[in-house]
Amino acid sequence: MAKIIIIALVVLAIAVYLIFHFFAEPPPPPVSVPPSVQLLESRLVGRKDGARQWEIWAQSVLQAGESVTLNDMDEIIMFQDDEPYLFIDAQRAVWERKPDILYLHDAVVRDEDETFYLESDLLIWAGSEETLASPESVFIRWQGLEIDAAEMLLKAQENLLYLKDDVRIRDGSMLWRVESAVYDLDQESMEFFGSLVLEGEVGESE
Amino acid sequence: MNRKIVTLMVVVALLVTSGRFALAQSQVGTLEITGVPTDVAAGRYDREAGVFSADVREIDGASITVKLEDVEITGKTMEWRTDDNYLFFTVDARLTQDDFELTADQVEYFGEDKNLKAEGRVVVTTEDATVYADHLDYDEETDEALFTGNVRVVFSDGVLEGERFLMLLEKSELQFFGSFQGEFTDEENGEQ
């Protein structure tokens, strides 16, 4: 009887081996995952020549390839002469290292006393060209101006601010509504393209 | 002759009652530049100097219009100094209000001084008369309009010509300086 059981087990073992060896699908090949680094609750500090340039505190920093993604950021602080001068709040930031492009989603940029305030759903800083673009609607408060525009491009080297589509600029009691405008930040002058409407108070205030 | 004087007085009365050039009070106004292609810059505002300037001379169909209540000023070029509220229109400059119209080569309005000047081919048209002159100087404080240089006042039934013509609008008074000559048609008798 024991002989019969042993023979049956051997037959079963041979059958199982044959089934798995010849009929079962081979396991899928391993997926190629690029090496990545994830840091949690991180404070990143950027320095140039030893001087602090910027500081970022984020819940999550993920580096994958050439892309660095920061989530749940507290604040980005930009420094000038080691003093904070610009604060950026953003939901998410993605830095493409090679082309040096920084995407800031749901961003608010302001200076310490909020004389400068910028709000945009998406800000794109192109480091090589030194341009800051908002391909979506933007609101800026600066030097007594309140600016709304559907699109914005700041050319930092030339200090020119390009505003496009449905541009509204409030300057005190004056409200400019223009198709597009270029604001020369050095000259403090604006050039208006296309048709425009200015509404405002004219004459003496009595 | 009494009828001519009455006609003149009607012109004055019309100017007085319509309060022609009253621009200096604080008002909400609009400035519009229309007909400008989107890739062309027609206006420029210098914030530091507080000067807005616009030029649409080279753009077909484009115009610059300032509206202050029922007063409308148009032109092809303009400058506006916000600090002292100075407006300067040139090329097809035109000021209209109801049935009143002023056209000139250039129209300047000095907001602080409450003074309006028009120069070059000045034409003031009302329902009852048309005044032609080289210059118009209107003082809002004294409500006086001074026409100078080749002045012609044309009524439906006559013409007055001279060099200097002052309308004292508040007093409903007309003053002619220097030599003036007039020519009227007596409609009843058909005589001149």
ipTM: 0.76
Digit-by-digit pLDDT tens for chain B (192 residues) are 344 433 343 334 334 334 444 454 556 789 999 999 999 999 999 998 999 999 999 999 999 999 988 889 999 999 999 888 899 999 989 999 877 899 999 999 998 888 999 999 999 998 778 999 999 999 988 889 999 999 999 988 899 999 999 988 777 788 888 888 888 877 655 545
Q: What is the pLDDT of residue A156?
A: 85
Instruction: Characterize A16-52 residue by residue with b for buried, 16 or more Cβ atoms within 10 angstroms of its Cβ, and e for exposed.
Output: eeeeeeeeeeeeeeeeeeeeeeeeeeeeeeeeeeeeb
- State the DSSP H helix or E strand holding residue B64, giving kind and residue range, or none if neither: strand B63-68
Instruction: Give the global pTM.
Output: 0.74
Question: Could you state, in order of their start, the residue ranges of all structural domains in chain B?
Answer: 1-120, 126-192
Q: What is the SS3 assignment for A13?
A: helix
Instruction: State pLDDT tens for residues A27-39.
Output: 444 444 455 666 6
pLDDT tens string B109-158: 998 888 999 999 999 998 778 999 999 999 988 889 999 999 999 988 89
Q: Positive or negative, the Cα torsion across B105, B72, B132, B114?
A: negative
Test A187 with B44 for CB contact under 8 angstroms.
no
**Chain A contact probe: residue of B21, B23, B25, B38 with most A CBs at under 10 A:** B38
Q: Are the CB atoms for A154 and A130 separated by under 8 Å?
A: no
Q: Nearest 5°: phi and psi at B18?
A: -85, -5
pLDDT > 70: percent of chain A: 78
Q: Which residues of B touch A142 (CB under 8 A)?
A: none
Does residue A3 or residue B51 have the better pLDDT?
A: B51
> Which CATH number does B1-120 carry?
2.60.450
Measured in angstroms, the CA of A102 and the nearest CA of chain B are apart by 30
The chain-wide mean pLDDT, for chain A, equals: 80
CB A192 within 8 A of CB A176: yes
Residue A65: how many other CB atoms lie within 10 Å? 11
How many beta carbons lie within 10 A of that of residue B58, not counting itself? 9
CB A192 within 8 A of CB A171: no
The helix (run of H) or strand (run of E) holding residue A9 is: helix A2-22
- Residue A123's pLDDT band, with cuts at 50, 70 and 90, is very high
pLDDT band of residue A17 (cuts 50, 70, 90) is very low
> Sorting pLDDT into bands at 50, 70 and 90, what band is A176?
very high
- B interface with A, Cβ–Cβ below 8 Å: 23-48, 52, 68, 82, 85, 111
CB contact under 8 A, B29 and A200: yes
Q: How far is A167 from chain B (nearest CA, A)?
A: 12
DSSP state letter for A188: T
Count how many Cα atoms sit within 13 Å of the Cα of residue A39 in the half-sphere of its side chain. Answer: 13
Mutating which of A166, A193, A202 best tests the B interface, going by the most B Cβ atoms within 10 A? A202
Smallest CA–CA separation between A89 and chain B, in Å? Answer: 30
Which alpha helices (H) appear in chain A, and where do they start and end? 2-22
Identity at A76, one-letter amino acid code = I
pLDDT at A71: 85
Residues of A in contact with B41 (CB under 8 A): 182, 191-193
The tens digit of pLDDT for each residue in A60-110 reads 888 888 888 888 888 888 887 888 888 989 988 898 888 888 899 999 999
The C-alpha atoms of residue B21 and residue A25 are separated, in whole angstroms, by 95
At residue B3, the pLDDT reads: 40
Q: Which among A30, A25, A29, A63 has a CA at the least distance from the CA of A44?
A: A63
Query: Could you tell me which residues come within 8 angstroms of residue A84 by beta carbon, excluding any fewer than 6 positions away?
Result: A77, A78, A112
Per the CB < 8 A criterion, the answer to whether A64 and A36 are in contact is: yes
Which residues of chain A lie closer than 8 angstroms to B35, CB-CB? 195
Contacts of B44 in chain A (CB under 8 A): 189-192
Residue B48 C-alpha, separation from nearest chain A C-alpha, in angstroms: 6
Instruction: Give Cα A109 to chain centroid, integer Å.
Output: 12
Q: Residue A147: its chain B contacts at CB < 8 A?
A: none
* Of A170 and A66, the one with more pLDDT: A170
Q: Give the residue-averaged pLDDT of A149-155.
A: 95
Q: Give B1-30 as a DSSP string.
A: -HHHHHHHHHHHHHHHHHTTT---S-EEEE
Q: Within 13 A of B142's CA, how many CA atoms are on the CB side?
A: 13
Nearest CA in chain B to A175: B30
Task: Quickly count: other Cβ atoms within 10 Å of residue B125's Cβ.
Answer: 16
pLDDT of residue A9: 47
Interface with A, mutate which of B23, B27, B31 (most A CBs under 10 A): B31
- Closest residue, chain B, to A204 (C-alpha): B26
Distance from CA of A169 to the nearest CA of B (A): 12
Give pLDDT, residue A45. Answer: 78
State yes or no: pLDDT of A16 exceeds 50.
no
- The arithmetic mean of pLDDT across residues A150-171, rounded, is 93
CA gap B54, B77 in Å, rounded? 6
Whole-Å CA distances, A38 to A31, A46, A94: 19, 18, 14
Residue to mutate among A195, A197, A201, A206, with most B CBs inside 10 A, is: A195
| pLDDT computed for residue A14 by the predictor | 54
Residue A169: exposed, middle, or buried by beta-carbon count in 10 A (0-12, 13-18, 19+)? buried
| CA max distance for chain A | 120
